[in-house]
Structure formats: structure tokens, C-alpha cells
Structure 1
Amino acid sequence: MSSIKQNIEQVISQITSATEKCGRTADSVQLLAVSKTKPIVAIEEAIDAGQFAFGENYVQEGVEKVQHFATSPQADKLSWHFIGPIQSNKTRQIAEHFDWVHSVDRAKIARRLSEQRPEDMPPLNILLQVNTSAEASKSGVTFDELATLADEIAAMPNILLRGLMSIPQKADDYDSQYAAFHALAEAQKALKGKHPQLDTLSMGMSGDMEAAIAAGSSIVRIGTAIFGARDYGTKQ
């Protein structure tokens, strides 16, 4: 059985290979280790391997991990990303503990995050989740609604609009994967005229990472390939 360190090295090798194929530098893509449901000891092993950015889907679990590592020797290097669905009654915990939020798709949620972000913390980095495949079962703003939402959120204090995120409809072929990611990248380009600070595209997981990187992803979200199969219990 491979170790978390070996898994991280393998994923980084895949990222490097994908960036080379499309003429990008390896450091233009950040690896976000999705550590949801994984224990502290697994995250410690990843940190020891040089991984410092972690993604969490469940608020209480994520906050507990952030608090645990707040006093660790590597605390200043760590970056915590909330990537799951956001309930209104959880926004304060997210605003007070995380560095990034990838899954904002409503002005109401952004406004709460803005109001609840502590004044002594840096602005909370915000990505707008876009439903690129228009699936009823998926969260995310539509392409048609995106510009209006971006304008509204960009004007809010204590948060900083940084880019877009998507979880496209599952596709096994490269061309379909690339088309969905390219559409998101084009949407971000269209927004940059008015919002030049947009510099982040969070898209791509283990099965479609190569297509995402070719389309311009700057953050790939990888979980099982690093930590192994997840044990889903009652999370909040």
C-alpha cells in the first residue's frame, strides 16, 4: 500500500505532465488536498510531505481541523478551503476559520460571509460556483446569472472575489471534459474586463484533471488519490 507521501508525489507528477503538454508551468496549478472525512493523522502525514492546502466539505469537521492545526509549527503555511455546500446557519464558522470558499452561488451567502468575517483577518477569498452543465441536482449559479452575481459580490467588504469553480457533469472522454472546463474559463475571461482581480479557476479532480489543466485550471481538487477511499458518516 502506498503512503500519503507517495500518493502526493504521484499526483504532483501527473500535474507536471499535464502542464507540460499544454505549455504551462507546474507551479501555475495548485494541488488542493481534499481531506474531508480524513483524520488528523492523515493531514499530518500530508503536511510532512510538503502539502499545505486542504479542502473541507463539512463545516464542523473542517473547523475542528483548522483549530487543531492553528498552533502547529506549520500553521502559517497552511491554507484552508471550504468547498462544500453552504447553509446560512454555518456561514459564521466558515467566515471565522477558512481562507478560501469555493462554493458561493448566492448573494445572500456572500453577504453573510462578508458581514461575519472578522475585521482582524485578511479578506476571505471567494470563488463563485457555476453549474456548467445546468444539472438540477447540482449547486451553482447559471452562466446567465454569473455577471450580475459577480458585480454584487465584488462590492462587498471583507471578502475578495477571486474566480470561479465548477463540478461538471461526469464525462469519461477528454473532449467532453475539456468543453465544460473551457466554458468556465471563457466565462471568467468575460468577467475579467470588469473584475481584473479574477485569477483563480478551481476545476478538475482525479478523473478529469488533465482536461481541466489544459483549459486553464489553477486549482485541482484531489482527495481519494491522496488519502484513499473515504468513510462517510454523519457530517455537518
Structure 2
Amino acid sequence: MNHIKDNLAQVELQINQACEQAGREQTTVQLLAVSKTKPAEQVEQAYHAGQRAFGENYLQEAVEKIQQLTHLDDLIWHFIGPIQSNKTRQIAQHFDWVQSVDRAKIITRLNEQRAEHNNPLNICLQVNISGEESKSGIQVNELAQLAQLVHESPHLTLRGLMAIPEKGNAEQSFSQMQQLFEQLQAQYSSVDTLSMGMSDDLAQAINNGSTMVRIGTAIFGARQ
């Protein structure tokens, strides 16, 4: 228990220091604890240390954890992995946020499959900002059309953008993402989230306007 609590405190300290260096309020950056491959017990330990938002990449593993932890009713679950169209129903049923939306078909299916009685599903469009073939995400020229589609979907709320920049070229990518985010904010009042930055480039991301950093290993230890 203590090592997760201590690790969370250390990451929060790093976020606070990065905010200070960037001249930003500490409350403007949220920590998403990436709990993929980690057992439900460790998520619960992080919860009792004050963490509420958790990111998962693998659907079946995530759904099992979500079902095991239903007694913690204020957990916020983010799906951050690649989305196969045959998996959208479960994502729409179990998650609060989807950060890895990258095509119109996925938007349509999530909207249709989100239950009427649930709050709208929070959506971030994933941008392949460095144009890497190995990465998911939309091209910049697709952003306007897909943002409009999310905005017009009654069971979805457009919250912002997510990106995983190319290693070694993060500064330029972060800067471009900040520009895209500010343009989107000017168009849609619901947009408030720029999800970028991980353990290695957290400070750089925050300096370029990130509002949510995704941290896994530094909290939970190396992946199994």
C-alpha cells in the first residue's frame, strides 16, 4: 500500500513543480493513473491514497477490474487503448471517458450504444500528431469533421484531444497539439482536456498546455 501512496505523492509533486515552472495553477493539470496490467487490488490501493481517475488499454482486463471495484462508486474510468469496432458496446457500457477515438464509425457506434440513463460519454479525439504508421489516431485534416460529429451526437460530449508524440520529437508535437486544442476550444464550449505527457515528458507537456498527464509505471511499478 505504502509504495503506491508514496509514488502517487511523488508524481503529484512532479506535476506541481512542472506547473510552477510553466506559470500555471496546480489545479489545471489532472493525473490519470494508467492501471493496465495491474490488479484491481492495486487500483483500490491508489483509490485509498486519493486517486480517482484510472486509464485502461485492454478491454477484457479492464471490464473485469471495473466489475470487481463497483463498491468504489466514484471511480472514473478512461479507455485509452486502440478501439476495435466490435468492442464499442462494452466500452460504451463500462467507461466514463474514451480518449482514443480515431474514426467516424467508432463515434457513431459509441453514441448508439451508450445507454439513455447514463451520462454522456466523454470523448477525446486521438491525434497522430507525428504521423507515425505504428500509432493510432486521426490526421490533423480530419479533426474538424470528427469533432463536429462528436458534438452532434446526443450521447457523447466532446472534451478534447489526446496524443502520444514521437519519442525524441516531443516538443514540436506538443506545441502543435496545444495550437489544435486552443482552436477546438474556441469552437466548442465543452472542450477542456488536452491529454498528453507521460513519465518521461510530463514537464514538457505541461509547459505546452497539457491538462491531463497519463502515468503508469511511476505509480504502480514496472508492467508485468
| Fold agreement, TM-score > 0.5 | yes
The 2-side partners of 1:25 and 1:157 are apart by: 33
User: TM-score, normalized by length of structure 2?
Assistant: 0.97
Report the counterpart of residue 222 of structure 2 in structure 1. 229
| Pairing of 1:69-218 with structure 2 (within 5 A) | 69-70=69-70, 72=71, 74-75=72-73, 77-171=74-168, 176-218=169-211
8 A Cα contact 1:36 1:57, kept in partner:
yes
8 A Cα contact 1:31 1:53, kept in partner:
yes
8 A Cα contact 1:82 1:98, kept in partner:
yes
User: TM-score, normalized by length of structure 1?
Assistant: 0.92
State the superposition RMSD in angstroms. 1.3
8 A Cα contact 1:178 1:214, kept in partner:
no
Look up the equivalent residue of 2:216 and give its one-letter code: G
The 2-side partners of 1:10 and 1:193 are apart by: 34
Shift of 1:196: 2.5
Look up the equivalent residue of 2:113 and give its one-letter code: Q
SS in 1 for 2:187: coil
Shift of 1:178: 2.6
8 A Cα contact 2:101 2:107, kept in partner:
yes
8 A Cα contact 2:22 2:207, kept in partner:
yes
The 2-side partners of 1:9 and 1:194 are apart by: 36
Shift of 1:223: 0.3
- 1:130-178 per-residue CA deviation (whole Å, 9 max, x = no partner) reads 001011111110111111111122111201011000001012xxxx423
The 1-side partners of 2:135 and 2:29 are apart by: 25
Report the counterpart of residue 4 of structure 2 in structure 1. 4
Q: Which runs of 5+ in 2 are unaligned?
A: none
Deviates more, 1:93-102 or 1:192-201: 192-201
The 2-side partners of 1:86 and 1:117 are apart by: 15
Deviates more, 1:2-11 or 1:86-95: 2-11
Question: How many residues in Structure 1 have an aligned counterpart in Structure 2?
Answer: 224
Report the counterpart of residue 63 of structure 1 in structure 2. 63
Q: Which runs of 5+ in 1 are unaligned?
A: 232-236
Look up the equivalent residue of 2:42 and give its one-letter code: A
Report the counterpart of residue 51 of structure 1 in structure 2. 51
SS in 1 for 2:199: coil
